[in-house]
Amino acid sequence: MHELVVNLHMHTTYSDGSGTYAELGQAALKTGVDVLLVTDHNVLVHGVDTYHRDGKKRVLVLACEEIHDQDRDPQKNHMLVFGTDQELSTLADNPQALVNAVNRLGGLCFIAHPVDPAMPAFGETDISWEDWNVTGFTGIELWNGFSELKTVAKGKMDAILYAFLPELIPHGPLRKALSIWDELLSKGQHVVAVGGSDAHARHMSLGPLHRTIFPYEYHFSTINTHVMTPMPLSGSLAEDRKMVFNALAAGHCFIGYDLPACTRGFSFSAQGRNSSASMGENISLDGAVTLQGRFPFSAEIKLIKDGVCIKTSHGETLTHVTNEPGIYRVEAYRHFLGKLRGWIFSNPIYVRSHQ
Ligand SMILES: [Zn+2]
Ligand SMILES: [Zn+2]
């Protein structure tokens, strides 16, 4: 398998971001990112899908969309939509109709910032996802780099500190988001977790202070979704686009916070007597199954089964032999800037009873 670093969920001047597509492409080329999925609010921009290049480096940039009902008060229920080629924001007031339309068109949809609390000091309301009766979506944005600010900054002074030192913000996906994900998985749904940046690179002024808060380049080096594909990018726009979306839809990916240490090279796999599986896949319990996690650097590792931590270890590997069906995933943490911070969150392997 090949690993592509995908940064997803970001805004340009087509909605409330400060950068153009060209500027986002340039920022991405300065980082280790391979693919950008750009998601302006309620507009699918046409004619901008392309590779941005600098010498031998290239980044694939694809226009996608973040859809929400602008007439709703508060404006909750944000959905990230990828790979549809068609404007669907007219369905924003009916999340289930939106999901159904995305599926009909062969696209993907992820519940954006499922837990997104209010930030009264800046007049920001709670924009968490509300409509949990919706079914059929691809997955959820488990970790959102921008909304995490709301959980750490309690007032204006905090916000100024984090504007200058944004690397102090990320701690990991919110506990509530993790428990929502585990609960969805426990119902038998195949729910893919992704990490999004929600980059806006907004300009902020507070008295004499003027600053672009959380520049695109910062976000692209921070929370990424690492996608496992059968081959590297080929240079064919249609093929590469399909390959990236297929891998995301299947859950062949993990979330990596790449600032404490690059997360490239992580793997989580299962080996049975006659079969094997990777993230997002099923494996049948035909005898025991060996789960194996490999980490590019030493970390505090947790193995989670059906939402409960069943094993912890420290190091670069995790091995666990099981005879029990369940939904297994791993989390890894590293010390960075004085705290133990979330570093890697895998998608699950579904260990099923042998039929
Ligand atoms: Zn949003
Ligand atoms: Zn957004």
Tell me how far the alpha carbon of residue 307 lies from the centroid of ligand 2, in angstroms: 27
Indicate the pTM of the whole model.
0.96
Tell me how far the alpha carbon of residue 175 lies from the centroid of ligand 1, in angstroms: 19
The count of C-alpha atoms lying within 13 angstroms of the C-alpha of 214, restricted to the half-sphere facing its C-beta, is 26
271: which 2 tokens?
A: 């080996």
* CA of 198, nearest ligand number: 2
What does DSSP assign to residue 347? P
Tell me how far the alpha carbon of residue 112 lies from the centroid of ligand 1, in angstroms: 6
pLDDT score, position 72: 92
pLDDT digits (tens, 9 = 90+) for 68-87: 999 999 999 999 999 999 99
Tell me how far the alpha carbon of residue 78 lies from the centroid of ligand 1, in angstroms: 5
Report the sign of the C-alpha dihedral through residues 316, 301, 246, 56, in that order: negative
Residue 295 in 3-state DSSP? strand
Tell me how far the alpha carbon of residue 89 lies from the centroid of ligand 2, in angstroms: 14
Q: Is the distance from CB of 337 to CB of 350 less than 8 angstroms?
A: no
| Rounded Cα distance, 298 and 167, in Å | 20
Tell me how far the alpha carbon of residue 66 lies from the centroid of ligand 2, in angstroms: 6
Tell me how far the alpha carbon of residue 173 lies from the centroid of ligand 1, in angstroms: 16
Tell me how far the alpha carbon of residue 314 lies from the centroid of ligand 1, in angstroms: 36
Pairing of strands 267-271, 35-41: unpaired
pLDDT score, position 122: 77
* CA of 11, nearest ligand number: 2
- Which class for 354: exposed (0-12), middle (13-18), buried (19 or more C-beta within 10 A)? exposed
Tell me how far the alpha carbon of residue 40 lies from the centroid of ligand 1, in angstroms: 9
* CA of 112, nearest ligand number: 1
| 144 closest CA partner among 119, 183, 172, 108 | 172
What residues are neighbours of ligand 1 (ion), with CB under 5 Å? 78, 112
Tell me how far the alpha carbon of residue 160 lies from the centroid of ligand 2, in angstroms: 21
| Rounded Cα distance, 255 and 178, in Å | 13
Question: Tokens 């005898």 belong to which residue?
Answer: 287
* CA of 68, nearest ligand number: 1
Q: Is the distance from CB of 64 to CB of 35 less than 8 angstroms?
A: no
| Rounded Cα distance, 336 and 230, in Å | 33
What does DSSP assign to residue 15? T
Tell me how far the alpha carbon of residue 164 lies from the centroid of ligand 1, in angstroms: 23
Cα of first residue to Cα of last residue in the chain, in angstroms, is: 29
| Rounded Cα distance, 98 and 81, in Å | 9
| Rounded Cα distance, 225 and 249, in Å | 13
Tell me how far the alpha carbon of residue 187 lies from the centroid of ligand 2, in angstroms: 28
Residues of the chain with pLDDT under 50: none
| Rounded Cα distance, 254 and 308, in Å | 19
Question: Tokens 């990596």 belong to which residue?
Answer: 256
pLDDT digits (tens, 9 = 90+) for 99-139: 999 999 999 999 999 999 888 877 888 999 999 999 999 99
Tell me how far the alpha carbon of residue 303 lies from the centroid of ligand 2, in angstroms: 30
Give the DSSP H or E segment for 82.
strand 79-82
Residue 46 backbone phi and psi in degrees, to 5? -100, 150
Rounded to the nearest 10°, the torsion over CA 224, 226, 232, 237 is -50
Any residues with CB less than 8 A from the CB of 80 and at least 6 apart, and which?
A: 8, 9, 37, 39, 64, 65, 66, 109, 110, 111, 112, 141, 196
* CA of 199, nearest ligand number: 2
Q: Is the distance from CB of 217 to CB of 30 less than 8 angstroms?
A: yes
| Rounded Cα distance, 136 and 99, in Å | 7
pLDDT digits (tens, 9 = 90+) for 4-22: 999 999 999 999 999 999 9
Tell me how far the alpha carbon of residue 66 lies from the centroid of ligand 1, in angstroms: 7
